[in-house]
Structure 1
């Protein structure tokens, strides 16, 4: 057994040997130069509605070595997950159904139009111990390989910087299907900022409903408004609306929004990424509309922090003017603590006036079942 080194992988790149970590809440301008792998907690305060999102972290790591990721990361046979029966939920079925009812009442009153209500699943998973008594964190690479084999995703990502590295640690493995932000700066200097919000989930395309389509349109409009806060006037457009994407065991409705940013360096002293993150974070598809009201209701209803779930995971190459950040859904994260190590996974659903509470609970189960099954040791039903 050997102690893992720090590494990250996303969008065909694999980085090793982390050499620096920065706090993006204090130094977002660092993203304007160099290549960084990014993990932002949903609760992170990036300049907008900070009173409702406190305590989360927004961090980026720079690595010494970056190269193309292996085409086949492995089968994940080395992964040793928690027992399937060990998983617990931050909101049980009855509490979740009540939370849906609360959101529907707030919609009736006109406080909000849509709110994403989530719950966090957790299971004990301790560190291993070497022959000389050193603790070794769970094998994030093995879990990433297992998810890649059993649940391939267009924005799959993993970042693991162990506590032994001397840097701020992180352990995140994601099989996200959703684009939060992309940046592509062309040779003509034009920088295109894009987003791909997902709203609407069913087992098959035939199961997508009018409620799903209305919700997607609502959130796409929210994302369009977010991009308009930072893009050049008249450049923001919806390039694809209500497209159906099929993923393992699921079908989603996906829309695409795109705009053009001012030229690099036009963001003022704080830099380009300070403005982009302030305008768009947290992602609209996992918060709600209006975003500020939805965030206040989320803080009221959800007993556990989301952490990197519903946040952002990906990379930013400030030198090349390129970036790709996923919404941190279908995401596992691990942390150690006084009570021992804990593996967590988030799941949720978008709630509107047209929501049926029982069906929304079922949607959270649907989103979790495949991935939690892949991350669990065989035997025993999950307690969700």
Structure 2
């Protein structure tokens, strides 16, 4: 049975889906109403406008979780393929083509027909609480459940904030030597992205490479703020900032070319964005679509496959085996929570 359309972010719970809109074609739609937004890394931005929005959590789960079998997950890049990709990126860096590229792989598994995204959202909240957790169910069999730790864009009127994450380590262990300079590089990229649509002189880095602890790992996180220039709207902001710099690379245009060359499948909502826009109150919060599960399905039929992406930022200082291990670290806890029954 298909779960009716709903969305949940930041303590808000939305029901009664009114319309679904291609926001690349019609970004002005975000100036009114409350929207759940899902953007793919490849650039498709979809808005789901809901009529009823109130404060409160997702309703409690009423059934057990039925997820993929632990052994059913497959990876778009195996270990050998990923290590080869890291080495290829290091060669491109040595050639002066690029400074950093985020290399990702997509894990996929068959999903039982009775798997309920609301139940998965509760499981992730218990096993891996995250500052930008959220849920979007479109009502047609497709859904996104995120436990994202990373802020892509937060908006309050003309004030915009982004929180790029670069640098990952297990609890109690030191960050790698490459992590701090990589964070600084990507923070500068985000600063430049926002500068394209900001009032001159308004872009500020208010925190640089601060340590944040999350379940099973910790990150280096920076904060960039800006004031939008007069007349700049959602079309301008998305054009300037998308896709998120922390999951693409620098320079962004070349990094995206390298990603297309090395990654065998599209990322979809993974490394895109997921969150909400309240056009009536001129507020928004979009997370980077990492630590995110999403389904593929067809109209009027249950989800058939569950996907989860994982990756790492590659620099000249990267050790291929260590980068593979980082992708395993990021995936292990969450994929474990989504596997099996309970």
| 8 A Cα contact 2:64 2:341, kept in partner | no
List per-residue Cα deviations over 1:78-123 (Å, max 9, x = no partner): 2110100000000000000000000000000000000000000000
Change (3 A) 1:240 1:293: same
In the alignment, the residues of structure 2 paired with residue 291 and residue 342 of structure 1 have an alpha-carbon distance, to the nearest angstrom, of 30
Matched, 1:100 2:86: yes
Q: TM-score, normalised by structure 1?
A: 0.85
In the alignment, the residues of structure 2 paired with residue 289 and residue 108 of structure 1 have an alpha-carbon distance, to the nearest angstrom, of 14
Correspondence for 2:105 among 111, 119, 122: 119
1:321 deviation in Å? 1.2
Q: TM-score, normalised by structure 2?
A: 0.96
- What does residue 300 of structure 1 align with? 261
Specify every segment of 5 or more residues in structure 1 that has no aligned partner in the other structure, as ranges. 45-56, 129-137, 164-168, 186-190, 380-384
1:73 deviation in Å? 5.3
| 8 A Cα contact 2:142 2:297, kept in partner | no
Counterpart mapping for 1:204-283 below 5 A = 204=171, 206-263=173-230, 266-267=231-232, 272-283=233-244
In the alignment, the residues of structure 2 paired with residue 73 and residue 255 of structure 1 have an alpha-carbon distance, to the nearest angstrom, of 33
Matched, 1:362 2:325: yes
1:74 deviation in Å? 4.0
Of the structure 1 ranges 227-236 and 315-324, higher mean CA displacement relative to structure 2 is found in 315-324
In the alignment, the residues of structure 1 paired with residue 27 and residue 341 of structure 2 have an alpha-carbon distance, to the nearest angstrom, of 43
Q: SS where residue 178 of structure 2 aligns?
A: helix
- What does residue 314 of structure 2 align with? 351
| 8 A Cα contact 2:210 2:220, kept in partner | yes
Matched, 1:310 2:256: no
Alignment size in residue pairs: 340
1:205 deviation in Å? 5.1
Specify every segment of 5 or more residues in structure 2 that has no aligned partner in the other structure, as ranges. none
Counterpart mapping for 1:117-156 below 5 A = 117-128=103-114, 138-156=115-133
- What does residue 59 of structure 1 align with? 46
Matched, 1:34 2:11: no
Matched, 1:335 2:296: yes
1:32 deviation in Å? 1.8
Q: SS where residue 210 of structure 1 aligns?
A: coil
| 8 A Cα contact 1:174 1:329, kept in partner | yes
Correspondence for 2:138 among 136, 161, 165: 161
1:126 deviation in Å? 3.7
| 8 A Cα contact 2:108 2:308, kept in partner | yes
| 8 A Cα contact 1:73 1:145, kept in partner | no
1:291 deviation in Å? 0.1
- What does residue 337 of structure 2 align with? 374
Q: SS where residue 38 of structure 1 aligns?
A: strand
In the alignment, the residues of structure 1 paired with residue 271 and residue 3 of structure 2 have an alpha-carbon distance, to the nearest angstrom, of 26
| 8 A Cα contact 1:179 1:324, kept in partner | yes
In the alignment, the residues of structure 1 paired with residue 168 and residue 92 of structure 2 have an alpha-carbon distance, to the nearest angstrom, of 23
1:69 deviation in Å? 2.3
Which has the greater radius of gyration? 1
1:42 deviation in Å? 0.3
| 8 A Cα contact 2:199 2:227, kept in partner | yes
List per-residue Cα deviations over 1:122-173 (Å, max 9, x = no partner): 0011424xxxxxxxxx31111001000110000001100122xxxxx64100
